[in-house]
Structure 1
């Protein structure tokens, strides 16, 4: 066999193996029943320090019984957090008990002896000596909670265009129903839209060993142009994801990998979450000059994360006065959708 042919066959075999490994690299769970013990530990916990100071934590599963997390003073993001005070921690489960210790410094590489906690039976108990400037008793007890978006299950008003209600995919091209009544990613509406309000519900998978943008990635493309990011960015902050690509502007709720959300309102994976979007197209005068840019307001899980954001200008090769479809990005992760409808502006 010629050497060049041998090299080609080796390259093809290597490429195929690499692609297969990429497909199987991250265990993916789409149901709570199959997600395992780590899923039961990860999530949100709220309670009091010293019996008086509201605090909350987000525990992120990393796979193989390892975890990291963030503590917030005042409550969870969007539910009391003061927007300032945070502590970071890491932990591991041993013999059914998950123990945590504080972290700080560059890349959170230093151990914070002031902070410690244990989770058993959905309850976190611990202490934080850094609260001594506010409290005499710095112990805390937090209970696991499951937040639900206030717009979850909202029904389309009169005059709305129902795009997906779980029964058929007539409004979509390249679409399929999975898990009996959910819409798979990769679908694009047959109809195009201009100015409208959008309601959409989505669920990201539980992928504990995946990192960064490989963790439950998808997106909503408004007019098949402006992407509102979907990704499992639960617990991400500018500190604990400082060195991961797009972890700030590309987190859930980011627009176009340019405009970050005002606050990270991502719920834990396998939670049903909501987007409520108000989009208005650019306006032009009779000569074709733009007099108003495209703008968008976005609520993630009921909380305003973009308020009338002016969007980046569109490409000169595309007429930005044309309506466009809604596209649900296929990024190869098992993100699913339901209850999708729009109300077009009159």
Structure 2
């Protein structure tokens, strides 16, 4: 054990004499700073340090994405809110950069349409990087357009979809892109996603803002909000919270 410790110590770059001085286990203990204590919450309750974006009562944290000021027109009922087809996308009033996001969603129990026309919506991170929402239970479409995909960029590792009408969860860790003063990209956005508790995007690099046609590219921006898409299907949402990282 002593030889292993000495070898590891020397490989770490310490001098021979310094390695022999490392005999006290307390020398490698870190006591400060102390991580803050939080209540981790539960399946229905957000962590105590989270920002609640929907509490089941109203859309006071959201506005219409059309102009960024008009009230969000989606329907709030029985602790959930649902896309009002034709009313347009909605977005958060608050803006974010690096974050942990929890969001629950449900596609209609009555199956209508197929492919991209079945239970379609989207979670746009920083209002431009889309994590696809779709009824992908027994529904064939292009792989980088199914639920859990970074739309038109990265397909999910697996299809972890539940059936129509069942509540599903996305737990997202997002690192925002960074830009140089001249507008050039310094580092791209990265995302990790668990869909219904299953890892489907593992520190995935995002190629740029979501495009329906053409190649994704970046344009310099700062912190931005979340946008939810009105794609014409009555997709529902609940229990949305975020933690700034």
Is the pair's TM-score, using the shorter chain for normalization, greater than 0.5? yes
- Deviations 1:230-266 (CA, angstroms, capped at 9, x unpaired): 1111034xxxx3xxxx431111101122210000011
Aligned residue for 2:122, secondary structure, equals: strand
Do the aligned partners of 2:160 and 2:196 also contact (CA within 8 Å) in 1? yes
Partner of residue 120, structure 1:
none
Deviation at 1:180, TM superposition (A): 2.9
Partner of residue 338, structure 1:
238
Do the aligned partners of 2:148 and 2:156 also contact (CA within 8 Å) in 1? yes
Aligned residue for 1:341, secondary structure, equals: strand
Do the aligned partners of 1:152 and 1:273 also contact (CA within 8 Å) in 2? no
Deviation at 1:324, TM superposition (A): 1.1
Partner of residue 191, structure 1:
94
Structure 1: tracts of 5 or more residues without a match: 1-150
Structure 2: tracts of 5 or more residues without a match: 1-40, 65-71, 84-88, 210-215
Partner of residue 152, structure 2:
257
Deviation at 1:303, TM superposition (A): 0.6
Deviation at 1:285, TM superposition (A): 5.5
1 or 2, which has the higher strand percentage?
1
* Superposition CA RMSD, Å: 2.2
Change in CA separation of 1:316 and 1:219 when aligned onto 2, cut-off 3 Å? closer
Deviation at 1:304, TM superposition (A): 0.6
Partner of residue 37, structure 2:
none
Change in CA separation of 1:284 and 1:247 when aligned onto 2, cut-off 3 Å? closer
- For the pair 1:305 / 2:200, whether they are aligned, the reply is yes
Deviation at 1:158, TM superposition (A): 1.9
Deviation at 1:267, TM superposition (A): 0.3
Do the aligned partners of 2:57 and 2:76 also contact (CA within 8 Å) in 1? no
Give distance in 1, aligned partners of 2:134 and 2:44: 22
Partner of residue 8, structure 2:
none
Aligned residue for 1:249, secondary structure, equals: helix
Partner of residue 113, structure 2:
210
Give distance in 2, aligned partners of 1:218 and 1:152: 26
Q: Structure 2 residue aligned with 1:318, among 219, 225, 230?
A: 219
Partner of residue 279, structure 1:
174
Aligned residue for 2:81, secondary structure, equals: strand
Aligned residue for 1:216, secondary structure, equals: coil
Give distance in 1, aligned partners of 2:81 and 2:103: 11
Aligned residue for 2:145, secondary structure, equals: coil
1:72-151 equivalences under 5 Å are none
Partner of residue 171, structure 1:
61
Aligned residue for 1:269, secondary structure, equals: coil
Deviation at 1:184, TM superposition (A): 2.4
Give distance in 2, aligned partners of 1:294 and 1:302: 22
Do the aligned partners of 2:126 and 2:225 also contact (CA within 8 Å) in 1? yes
Q: Structure 2 residue aligned with 1:181, among 53, 57, 79?
A: 79
- Deviations 1:293-333 (CA, angstroms, capped at 9, x unpaired): 2100011101110000000135778323x111111100110
Give distance in 2, aligned partners of 1:317 and 1:276: 24
Give distance in 1, aligned partners of 2:220 and 2:186: 15
